[in-house]
Amino acid sequence: MTGAPRTVLVHPDADTLAEATAARLITRLVDLQSAAAPVHVVLTGGTVGIKTLAAVAGSPARGAVDWTGVHLWWGDERFLADGDADRNETQAREALIDALGDALPAANVHPMRPLDPAAGIATPEDSAAAYAAELAAFAPEGADVPTFDVLVLGMGPDGHVASLFPGHEGVDVTGVPTVGIHGSPKPPPERVSLTFESIRAAREVWVVAAGAEKAPAVASALSDAPVSTTPAAGARGTEATLWLVDAAAVAEVGATPGAA
Ligand SMILES: O=C1O[C@H](COP(=O)(O)O)[C@@H](O)[C@H](O)[C@H]1O
């Protein structure tokens, strides 16, 4: 597996994990903005992912970020109508984006297109193709996706990341930056996801996971199980791969967590 080695950082519980990840993200954005602009961040849905966004919104330090220079993308989306409460976009808006208000230009927010047959988005493949075009518009010459500075991934108890599920063909898709998903084992069945090629193009990949129900998948991923059975094992950044977890989530990891 190419990519940066993993560093595992363990926090006592899910709330502390979310607060610490939010602080880490804010600090990273400020550091990145001292050197270059714009900054591209990929958001995740899921429990800890959304909790982390709420923690960013609640942090006074969020004012240290120049949000006009931050672009927000998504690693995956539930293919539902605009505004559906189950959309990762809807939850991210409620947790953070709405709170940022005018500080974050609307043009910097890049959601995956919702189900909207009247606008030509009738299938997950339509949305995936539209997102590929949006990504390409911000990609450097010769690349399919922007240079993502930080790409955050939640992980399901089955080891899925983004909407790349174990045993599903989305895991193996290559040559395209995005993929439409059908028959997801976790509702809703239709989704849109970045492919592993897009995920692995990110400079930093942060996997966030909390809770005992994630412990088997965390142990499996950190022991380099096949990506086909534990997709999270394939999540790597080009410069850094962080596993930001709580104590319950690493309960089944054999050795003391550390670089892997
Ligand atoms: O459905 C999804 O689930 C995963 C993980 O969610 P969690 O609630 O178990 O933390 C999430 O990463 C993904 O973005 C989302 O679409």
Per-domain boundaries in the chain: 7-191+199-204+232-240
Ligand 1 atom at minimal distance to the Cα of residue 184: 1
Please tell me the distance from the alpha carbon of residue 197 to that of residue 60, in angstroms, as a whole number: 35
38: pLDDT strictly greater than 90: yes
1: pLDDT strictly greater than 80: no
The mean pLDDT of 136-162, rounded to a whole number, is 98
Residues 102, 105, 106, 108, Cα dihedral to 10°: -150
pLDDT at 216: 98
Residue 89 CB–ligand 1 contact under 6 Å:
no
Q: Which residue's alpha carbon is nearest to atom 9 within ligand 1?
A: 156
Q: What's CA 140's distance to the chain center, in Å? A: 21
CATH (residue range 7-191+199-204+232-240): 3.40.50.1360
Q: Up-side HSE of residue 26: CA atoms within 13 Å toward CB?
A: 21
Q: How far is the CA of 23 from the centre of ligand 1 (A)?
A: 21
181: pLDDT strictly greater than 60: yes
Which are the contacts of 94, defined by CB distance < 8 A and separation ≥ 6? none
pLDDT band per the 50, 70, 90 thresholds, residue 254: confident
Q: Which residue's alpha carbon is nearest to atom 6 within ligand 1?
A: 46
Q: Which residue's alpha carbon is nearest to atom 12 within ligand 1?
A: 154
Residue 170 CB–ligand 1 contact under 6 Å:
no
CA dist 232 → 195, 217, 241 (Å): 12, 8, 11
Q: Which residue's alpha carbon is nearest to atom 13 within ligand 1?
A: 45
Q: What's CA 151's distance to the chain center, in Å? A: 5
The mean pLDDT of 195-207, rounded to a whole number, is 98
The pTM (predicted TM-score) of the whole model is: 0.96
Please tell me the distance from the alpha carbon of residue 233 to that of residue 57, in angstroms, as a whole number: 30
The mean pLDDT of 56-74, rounded to a whole number, is 98
Q: How far is the CA of 103 from the centre of ligand 1 (A)?
A: 27
Residue 46 CB–ligand 1 contact under 6 Å:
yes
pLDDT band per the 50, 70, 90 thresholds, residue 37: confident
Q: How far is the CA of 44 from the centre of ligand 1 (A)?
A: 7
194: pLDDT strictly greater than 80: yes
Ligand 1 atom at minimal distance to the Cα of residue 153: 12
pLDDT at 123: 98
Q: How far is the CA of 14 from the centre of ligand 1 (A)?
A: 14
pLDDT band per the 50, 70, 90 thresholds, residue 149: very high
Among 76, 199, 207, residue to substitute to test ligand 1 (most atoms within 8 Å of Cβ): 76
The mean pLDDT of 60-76, rounded to a whole number, is 98
pLDDT at 258: 46
Mean pLDDT score of the chain: 96
Q: Which residue's alpha carbon is nearest to atom 11 within ligand 1?
A: 46
φ and ψ at 57, to 5 degrees? -60, -35
Ligand 1 atom at minimal distance to the Cα of residue 214: 9
- What is the radius of gyration, based on Cα positions, of the chain? 17
259: pLDDT strictly greater than 50: no
Tell me the torsion sign for CA atoms 39, 62, 64, 237: negative
